[in-house]
Structure 1
Amino acid sequence: MVRIAISTVGDFYLGHRRRFHLSGILILVTLAAFLARDLLSEAGWLVVSDEALTTTVLVAVFFAALACEYLDSSLGMGYGTTLTPLLLLAGFTPLQIVPAVLLSELLSGLAAGAMHHRDGNIDLFRNRPARRTFVLLAMLSTVGAVTAVVIAVKIPIFWLTLGITVIVLTMGVVTLLTAGRQIRYRVGGILGIGLIAAFNKGLSGGGYGPLVTSGQVVSGVPAKQAVAITSMAEALTCLVGLGAYLVLAGAIDWRLTLPLVAGALLSVPLATATVKRLPEDLIRRAVGGMTLGLVLLMKLLG
């Protein structure tokens, strides 16, 4: 078993050596930039106003974004849901975190969509069902915040949260149980999941990926396409959310944003290559398991 795993990793590396080498070089350059920040500060050529954002913290944020976005671009979930609570636990404020996460998710989502296209995981130009699914989810995502506000004022938060949690758990279980089956594509399922996910995003700011990705799979969308579509649809959601934050808050904390953006973007090429390499049924099982795992993580960190 161990030999098979090592052989698989070796084949994956050999098939994407250029990406591995380029990603390694860019990661080293980024780490060198963080180190140069300290050297320039000690030499008096750079004024660092916030002592809390040390090089150690920046490197930790960079690698956290790298790991979380790799999962997100590979399985369609896990970036904001995992990273936001971790940054809160690290002492960052919501006004620092949310715009930074939205911008990094916007850029990495667009990059992931382009790379998924390049790697053949999806083709929006030739695949009509995939294109229709993306358009529906993108449209529904943009109205999520408004819908959430209108409904949330009339229904207790407890019942809303409980209902969404049950739906997400159900999607995860169904995805696992149907991993080896061919499911007929249903537009109605996409509409229902899109509305619920958009509402959840507008209400809580997270939980979009687990519901949309697993919901697409349950509605008959191939797992590789579901991952790619989620990345692109969520990028548009982040664009709307970021615009709202810029209007209300008026600024982005670039000290936190830059390591998040760098880490997220550098993970994308290897993540989309992973999706291309893995079998469809394995991705479906991983999506189902990850959906259940993230719900438990949100409850623990919440």
Structure 2
Amino acid sequence: MEIESIFISVFIISLLAEYMDATIGMGYGTTLTPVLLLIGFSPLQVVPAILLSQFLSGIFAAALHQGAGNVSFDFKNDTEHKIVKRLGRLGYIPKSTAAKVAMVLVMSSIAGVFIAVLIALRLPVFYLKLYIGLLVVTMGMLIIARHKTRNEFSWKKIMGLGILASFNKGISGGGYGPLIVSGQILSGVETKNSIGITALAEGATCFIGVITYFIVGTNVDWSLAPYLVAGSLISVPLSVYTVKRMPVKQFTLVIGVATTLLGLFSLYKLLRPLN
């Protein structure tokens, strides 16, 4: 009975964490991982299960955000684009801006993760986590300060954002969602679009992690996965409805406040043992 109660609690925590993540684009892994470890689960039970649930819920959330009109994905080849015309049959550029942004973020992740691995092997973990916490707080405060202004869209910012966010993910396993959402807003992407794009990009990133665990993870325990997946999938429709109903300016301010608080919480967790 005690074991059943624990797994019911895991289901409820996953539901609440995914509601937050699918609504503001951040907080699922950051919230869920330490809670599950405190309950007594091992990292090899927690991390693969979270990756699997984020992959499925991310793709599901992106599809529902598309259906609700929060974002517009069109991955058909844009045959009129100059790159496609130049490369002919080998050329591919998706039609909609949201699809282009998602593709750039996912492709940039390859470079970001590679750089992260090289640096992570040489720098102490404390300073890496300190850097991420300070970066997230800074971006959250920038959004709060500029939530009433319209940011000019920039592809250079989007590419840099994809590399930086995946760099953070590769170093510490976190810092992806807060940076991707806030960075898109500061790069000129409309707030609601940024949530749907983040869901798709993070889902694709987690898929790579899931495949890796399936291939090489001989000692992985997947017993948590059904409860995390069920909780996260059930919460997604309510999250999508919340995003659709929220006025854009207030929603942008909510994202800024949430990003800042999440960064401050990360710094608190990191610095608390030093006191």
Kindly indicate whether the alpha-carbon contact (under 8 Å) linking 1:141 and 1:198 is maintained by their aligned counterparts in 2: yes
Q: Structure 2 residue aligned with 1:134, among 102, 110, 115?
A: 102
The secondary structure found in structure 2 opposite 1:255 is: coil
Q: Quote the offset at 1:143 in angstroms.
A: 4.3
Deviation digits for residues 87-113 of structure 1 (CA, Å, limit 9, x no counterpart):
111111000000000000000000000
Deviations 1:128-182 (A, max 9, x none): 3222211111112244432211122344444433333222111100111111111
Equivalent position of 1:61 in the other structure:
10
Structure 1 residue aligned with 2:149: 181
Structure showing greater radius of gyration is 1
State the Cα distance separating 1:61 from its structure 2 match.
Answer: 0.6
| Partner SS, residue 223 of structure 2 | helix
Matched ranges for 1:220-235 at <5 A: 220-235=188-203
Q: Which residue of the other structure, out of 43, 48, 58, is the alignment partner of 1:99?
A: 48
Quote the Cα distance in structure 1 between the aligned partners of 2:187 and 2:213. 33
What's the CA shift for 1:252? 4.7
Aligned to 2:263: 295
Contact 1:138 1:236 in 2 (8 A): yes
C-alpha distance in structure 2 between counterparts of 1:204 and 1:182, whole Å? 32
Q: Report the alpha carbon displacement of residue 251 of structure 1 after superposing the two structures with TM.
A: 5.6
Contact 1:70/1:268 (<8 A) preserved: yes
Q: Number of residue pairs matched?
A: 251
AA aligned opposite 2:50 = V
Matches within 5 A, 1:80-95: 80-95=29-44
Equivalent residue in structure 2 for 1:149, among 117, 129, 150: 117
Distance 1:144 1:244, change over 3 A: farther
Q: Is the 8 A contact 2:139 2:183 kept in 1?
A: yes
Contact 1:141–1:233 (CA<8 Å) still a contact in 2?
no
Q: Percent identity?
A: 43
Matched, 1:114 2:63: yes
Equivalent pair of 2:137/2:261 in contact (CA under 8 Å): no
**Equivalences for 1:2-81 in 2 at 5 Å?**
54-81=3-30
The superposition leaves residues 32-69 of structure 1 with CA deviations (integer Å, 9 ceiling, x where unpaired) of xxxxxx6xxxxxxxxxxxxx6x1211111111000010
8 Å contact kept, 1:106–1:235: yes
Unpaired stretches in structure 1, ≥5 consecutive residues: 1-37, 39-51
- 2:39 maps to a residue whose letter is A
Q: Distance in 1 between matches of 2:130 and 2:37?
A: 23
Contact 1:85–1:301 (Cα < 8 Å) also in 2:
no
100-109 or 122-131, which deviates more: 122-131
Measure the CA separation in 1 of the matches of 2:111 and 2:52. 19
Residue type matched to 1:125 in 2?
A: D
The letter of the residue matching 1:258 is P
Aligned with residue 257 of structure 1, among 225, 233, 258: 225
2: CA distance, partners of 1:132 / 1:86: 35
Contact 1:176 1:289 in 2 (8 A): yes
Partners of 2:116 and 2:124 in 1: CA distance: 12
Aligned twin of 2:184: 216
Per the alignment, residue 284 of structure 1 pairs with: 252
Give me the TM-score of the superposition, normalised by structure 2.
0.86
8 Å Cα contact 2:70-2:243 kept in structure 1: yes
Cα distance in 2 for partners of 1:88, 1:219 equals 35
Query: Deviation digits for residues 61-80 of structure 1, max 9, x if unmatched?
Result: 11100001001100000100
Q: Distance in 1 between matches of 2:184 and 2:99?
A: 13
Cα separation, 1, equivalents of 2:206 and 2:146: 31
- C-alpha contact 2:132 2:175 (8 A) present in aligned 1: no
